[in-house]
């Protein structure tokens, strides 16, 4: 069974590598040719990387295979406008609109940007489409698991239920209970949603043509803000007293300690946001940079040199894909774990008074 699992992981990594390689090669050909000149441009690794990790109005699965997504625009003079992003492909102007550097703006008859027109973009981009896809996957999975529990009540789990149950129990027993304590059930639905949302989107990002959703800082910012709100709205009296009147701190140090504690409140969600964003994006950049070495070598030493370094680059890239598979689970675990720790620190009850530790323990027991 272990050998079969390794073979499947190797196959997934190879498919991902081959897709990235074909797309990088096509991108290199695009940047390396001109219509009016025989001068060959150098292959830009940076442009190729940004092309793959940034959001877009079309979902490109491979070169020449792009799924057009709905463009939804609103302006005061025209109202709501909906059309396909295929009309704006390759810098074309459609209905007075043009897509440049990932942004849609209205242009004048001469092709210049019309700064007087205020256009609000509510388009379904690649990241939004991936978000909707992950929502559908999660809904389908957990509705199936829920039906499995109802059908197998009092019996051993089966099918998808048996695969998901260990993960759900892991989040409950290893993350929620130890860090939040007796009140963990109130926050368990959020922690489960957080864990599986990050995990599913991390895995989708590793598939050929997948979107870099959890590598988008707007997404990680939203998750961090939700955790921030839950923590601070759940905070008890002890939590707020620790911020504005830390126990055991001399009065002379309070003007220093209170600002430090307040800054710490905002640094926690900031660290959550940056950690997930940086780790997921860095993995994609490393893989794409390794693939770019093939085409850099080809530009410098000819196609024979590019082919010569390809096997070595392929080995390292497959290895990095397997590492990224581990990181997908690890980052979901770390984000959920830290969120539970922050929630636990906000709802933790502190015992006050001059009684001994034994008396406090007996009081808690009763």
Q: Per residue, what are the HEC states of the chain?
A: CHHHHHHHHHHHHHHHHHHHHHHHHHHHHHHCCCCCCCCCCCCCHHHHHHHHHCCCCEEEEECCEEEECEEEEEECCCEEEEEEHHHHHHHCEECCEEEECCEEEEECCCCCECCCCCEEECCCCHHHHHHHHHHHHHHHHHHHHHHHHHHCCCCCCCCHHHHHHHHHHHHHHHHHHHHHCCCHHHHHHHHHHHHHHHHHHHHHHHCCCCCCCCCCHHHHHHHHHHHHHHHHHHCCHHHHHHHHCCCCCCHHHHHHHHHHHHHHHHHHHHHHHHHHHHHHHHHHHHHHHHHHHHHHHHHHHCHHHHHHHHHHHHHHHHHHHHHHHHHHHHHHHHHHHHHHHHHHHHHCCCCCCCCCHHHHHHHHHC
pLDDT value, residue 358: 35
153 with 107: CB under 8 angstroms? no
Share of the chain above pLDDT 70, in %: 84
pLDDT value, residue 149: 83
pLDDT value, residue 337: 96
pLDDT tens digits along 111-155: 788 888 889 999 999 999 999 999 999 999 999 998 888 887 777
Q: Lowest mean pLDDT: which of 169-173, 182-186, 299-303?
A: 299-303
Any residues with CB less than 8 A from the CB of 15 and at least 6 apart, and which? Answer: 208
338 with 272: CB under 8 angstroms? yes
pLDDT value, residue 43: 63
pLDDT tens digits along 30-55: 444 444 443 345 667 777 778 788 88
**Which pLDDT band, with edges at 50, 70 and 90, does 16 fall under?**
very low
pLDDT surpasses 90 at 273: yes
Distance CA 319, CA 232 (A): 41
pLDDT surpasses 60 at 10: no
Q: Lowest mean pLDDT: which of 18-27, 150-159, 303-312?
A: 18-27
pTM of the prediction?
0.80
Q: Which of 29-33, 239-243, 342-346 holds the top average pLDDT?
A: 342-346
180 with 187: CB under 8 angstroms? yes
**Which pLDDT band, with edges at 50, 70 and 90, does 307 fall under?**
confident
Distance CA 3, CA 19 (A): 24
The larger pLDDT score, comparing residue 86 to residue 156, is at: 86
Mean pLDDT of the region 339-350: 89
pLDDT value, residue 242: 80
Q: Lowest mean pLDDT: which of 11-15, 97-101, 202-206, 288-292?
A: 11-15
Distance CA 85, CA 93 (A): 11
pLDDT surpasses 50 at 106: yes
Share of the chain above pLDDT 90, in %: 37
pLDDT value, residue 199: 96
pLDDT value, residue 359: 36
pLDDT tens digits along 321-338: 899 999 999 999 999 999
Distance CA 341, CA 190 (A): 13
Structure tokens, 126: 């690649």
């Amino acid at each position: 069974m272990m050998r079969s699992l390794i073979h499947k992981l190797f196959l997934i990594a190879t498919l991902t590598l081959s897709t990235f390689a074909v797309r990088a090669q096509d991108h290199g050909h695009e940047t390396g040719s001109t219509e009016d000149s025989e001068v060959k441009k150098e292959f830009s690794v940076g442009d190729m990387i940004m092309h793959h990790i940034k959001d877009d109005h079309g979902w490109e699965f491979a070169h020449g295979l792009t799924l057009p997504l709905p463009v939804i625009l609103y302006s005061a003079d025209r109202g709501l406008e909906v059309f396909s992003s295929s009309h704006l492909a390759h810098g074309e102007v459609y209905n007075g609109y043009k897509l440049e550097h990932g942004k849609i703006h209205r242009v004048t008859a001469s092709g210049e940007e019309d700064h007087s027109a205020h256009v609000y973009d509510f388009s379904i981009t690649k990241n939004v489409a991936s978000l909707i896809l992950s929502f559908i996957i999660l809904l389908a999975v957990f509705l199936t698991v829920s039906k499995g529990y109802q059908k197998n009540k009092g019996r051993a789990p089966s099918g998808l239920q048996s695969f998901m149950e260990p993960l759900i129990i892991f989040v409950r027993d290893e993350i929620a209970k130890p860090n939040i304590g007796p009140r963990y059930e109130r926050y368990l639905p959020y922690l489960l949603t957080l864990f599986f949302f990050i995990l599913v989107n991390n895995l989708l990002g590793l598939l050929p043509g997948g979107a870099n959703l959890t590598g988008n800082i707007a997404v990680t910012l939203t998750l961090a803000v939700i955790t921030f709100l839950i923590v601070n709205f759940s905070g008890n009296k002890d939590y707020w007293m620790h911020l504005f009147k830390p126990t055991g701190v001399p009065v002379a140090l309070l003007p220093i300690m209170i600002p430090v504690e307040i800054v710490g409140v905002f640094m926690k969600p900031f660290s959550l946001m940056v950690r997930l964003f940086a780790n997921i994006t860095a993995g994609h950049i490393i893989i794409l940079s390794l693939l770019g070495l093939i085409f850099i070598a080809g530009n410098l030493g000819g196609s024979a040199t590019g082919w010569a370094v390809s096997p070595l680059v392929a080995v390292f890239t497959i290895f990095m894909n397997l590492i990224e598979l581990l990181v997908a689970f690890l980052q979901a675990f770390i984000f959920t774990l830290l969120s539970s720790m922050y929630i636990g620190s906000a709802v933790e009850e502190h015992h006050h008074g001059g009684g001994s530790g034994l008396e406090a323990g007996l009081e808690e027991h009763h």
